[in-house]
Chains A and B, each alone.
Chain A
Amino acid sequence: MFWISRLGSILGALLFCFLLDKVTGGLSDFSSRLVVLAGLYVTLSVSLNLINGITGQFSMGHAAFYQVGAYTAGYLSVTYFSKAHLPGFLWIVLMMIVAAIGAALAGLIVGLPSLRLKGDYLAIVTLGFGEIIRIVVQNQPSIGGAYGMNVQPKFPQLFASTGTHGVWLVWLLAILCIAVCRNLLKNVHGLPFLAVREDEIASSAMGVNVTGVKVTAFLIGSAFAGAAGALLAHYEGFLSPTMFTMELSFIVLTMVVLGGTGSITGSTLAAIVLFYLPEKLRDLPPVPVSFLVGAVIGAVGIVVFLKKTIDNYHGSSSQKTVRMILGTATGIVVAAALGFVLKVIPTIGHAAPVEAAKLRMVIFAVTLIFLMLLRPQGVFAHHEFSWSWVKKLLGKKDVPTTAVST
């Protein structure tokens, strides 16, 4: 039974990837780009979750591993691809592996010294390392410095022989990342990671090699980020240090935090949602300032109301949920109304409308703040999607197959 479901999952994953590739082929360039980037973000998000959520090591410099992987693959491709005579597809897989190793090395450099540190200090050090890597790369003329580096060959050429668009490779990596982390979690091997997250001293007292666990988490997490970087390099065809700033680290962090630290399902979904939402914003017409002000006032009101309800309401759980939903709905209505009313005030009414795309980072910032105030454990907390949960939904009884249940 176990092997059949395993095989089924693998085949399902492969099928998903190829279907996605075919479907994307028919979309516009812009839309297919979104699909590729979403897949990369999923990999980044899940790999960061391994370090932050599952092992509890607060790493904030994830963009650096992405960058190391991207530049490693990019530089090697530029220098050696023409000399090696491999088919494009094999070359890129090779690049992914090399990039993963390079990024893992960076992960080792960042992770090892930080082992003694915890909490805030670890966060700051990882952020610092990330910035140093970015600045060092920025000052290396041999890899383009601040101007960036062109990477050849690009995806279309690489995959011309196989007739696909390479999208499947990006999502295969994402699924591989999810699978590795998932198996790590569900397995008996995954327990030490969770133990280290909960209580390091107790873990080491029970014989867990705390250092080994932490280093492993950093290695695996950074390796996947590096492989994703390799794919990025060959997809975009161009790399520049401005693509790997602190903002990127914060964006990935927001995805992990929104999904729920420790929940792979959460990271995956949050990555997709937080990536698509701002992109969809581009289609909106510019937002009049009065609506922005209304939204701000409404948002503050909703958050205050929700926080009060979460902390102080002593009714039943379903009553609480209803109350929260009604409150949020009221808040939204009030915000919209304010949007219309506030136009009367001249400074607000005459102000130029704001491009919705500029709101992207603001939305990330607000998401972080609201999450921490209302639900710091993230949407999914440590729950995962699993077949047993589906069975529960369908009302079937579930026989536990492993000793570990999430």
Chain B
Amino acid sequence: MLLTHAPVAELTFSSLPQFFVNGVLNGAIYALIALGYTMVYGVLRLINFAHGEVYMLGAYAALLTSYALGYGPGQSGPGFPSILTLAIMLLVSMSFCALLGVLIERFAYRPMRSQPRIASLITAIGVSLLFQFGGQLVLPVSPPPSISERVNPDFLRTPVEITLKAPDRQMVATATSLKPAYEAAKQAWEEQKKHEANEFDLSPEGKTLRTSFQDAERAYQDAARKADASANKILIPKGKLVMFSTSIFLMIILWWLVTRTSAGRAMRAVSHDFNAASLMGISVDKTITFTFIIGSALAGAAAMMLATFQGTPLTTFYGVQPGVKAFVAAVLGGIGNIPGAVIGGLLMGVAEDLVIGMGYSQYKDAIALVILIGVLLLRPGGILGSSKVEKV
């Protein structure tokens, strides 16, 4: 798998940077999804419960696209480079999710605008459940399919290494000094093997040579491992780096859209005051549709990337956990606040990895809920929001 880390180490002072980096990389994805929650809340004051399911369906869209392009089970892939496939999958996921978001807004949320907000919340819950359980009836769920490994291009397989602290020189010297002996013993043993009938019935000579080889190998490998462990390195799987860069790129586009274009200003105006915005000539309906398009497309991008690079098996409940975490991220950063969602996402990523590092990985799903309740009770406005208790 492209994204396997080294086995989960303990959280120590020296391993802190690795955990932190993992957290930030994961957090960027949470941020993408969180942006969808926060923008919709900003314009509609609605918690879009169904956002997690839009994310889930985006992953399925990526899956089915990969099948169509020849990466299905038993197929051998198309003739063109996998980068192109990835690009197509990304575009399809984003467009599909955008369309889905628009449909949900138009048919489930728009009729609710004149009702009390609880009604919209209940509708959102209904839509979410509908996709989760209705999806089970039409999408492939058993066995849970996953996007084929082969989609990922080869150059992504090796991790990037960043050395924080070089390995202890003496240990490296020790290992290096043991290497010639090891190679010699190995060569001798290989030579001897050719003269032996089989490996289980060795001559006394053979046994000796094998033992010396194994001893030399053990000594060398122990020394090499010790030398390696004395270094402090951060390993970043290239796949994660690609995900992170794409996420940052998308966020930059979003920032540009929101702050520099007329449509973005319209969105900020609508989130502040519906009526005043329409007095500017802004079509509130169109602006809300635009918000859903952007938010859902970002979720689609996140879904495609995670599903492809992590290869997790997909079920219709694939979006529940990420949805909850991204929502908490949005609340943490200040719901309705766009930079807040990014900060919240990164913080959530780091918090989650720290919890795993501390050995409580079975509680990693609960950490999000604890953060949520903590924020809502102590500072409902979130980090970038107002500090006064917001009476809804």
Contact = CB atoms under 8 A, between A and B. Distances in A.
Q: Are chains A and B touching in the complex at the 8 Å CB cutoff?
A: yes
Interface string B78-102: 0000000000000000000000000
Interface in A279-302: 292
A131 B392 contact: no
A372 B107 CA distance: 12
Contact of B369 (A118, A119, A123, A128): A128
B365 A361 contact: no
A121 interface: yes
Contacts of B119: 372, 376
A131 B392 CA distance: 23
A6 interface: no
Contact of B126 (A123, A129, A292, A366): A366
Contacts of A139: 362-363
A361 B129 contact: yes
Contacts of B127: 365, 369
A114 B378 CA distance: 11
Interface in B121-148: 121-123, 125-130, 132-134, 136-137
Contacts of B21: none
Interface residues of A, number: 41
Contacts, number: 116
Contacts of B47: 120, 124
Nearest to B320: A246
Interface in A89-127: 113-114, 116-121, 123-125
**Interface majority SS (helix, strand, loop, mixed), chain A:** helix
Contacts of A367: 126
Contact of A124 (B116, B363, B376, B389): B376
Main secondary structure of the interface of B (DSSP, over half): helix
A373 interface: yes
A119 B391 CA distance: 9
B380 A117 contact: yes
Contact of B117 (A120, A125, A135, A361): A120
A364 B128 CA distance: 11
A119 B362 CA distance: 31
A362 to B, nearest CB: 5
Contact of B129 (A113, A121, A358, A368): A368
Nearest to B41: A120
A364 B132 CA distance: 12
Among all A-B residue pairs, the 5 with the closest Cβ atoms: A368-B126, A365-B129, A361-B133, A365-B130, A369-B126
Interface of B: 45-47, 108, 111-112, 115-123, 125-130, 132-134, 136-137, 331, 362-363, 365-366, 369-370, 372-373, 376-377, 380, 389-392
Given A369-B126, A372-B126, 17 more contacts: A117-B377, A119-B117, A120-B47, A121-B376, A124-B47, A124-B372, A125-B373, A128-B373, A131-B366, A132-B366, A135-B363, A135-B369, A253-B122, A358-B137, A372-B119, A372-B122, A373-B112
Interface of A: 58, 113-114, 116-121, 123-125, 128-129, 131-132, 135-136, 139, 247, 250, 253, 257, 292, 307, 354, 358-362, 364-369, 371-373, 376
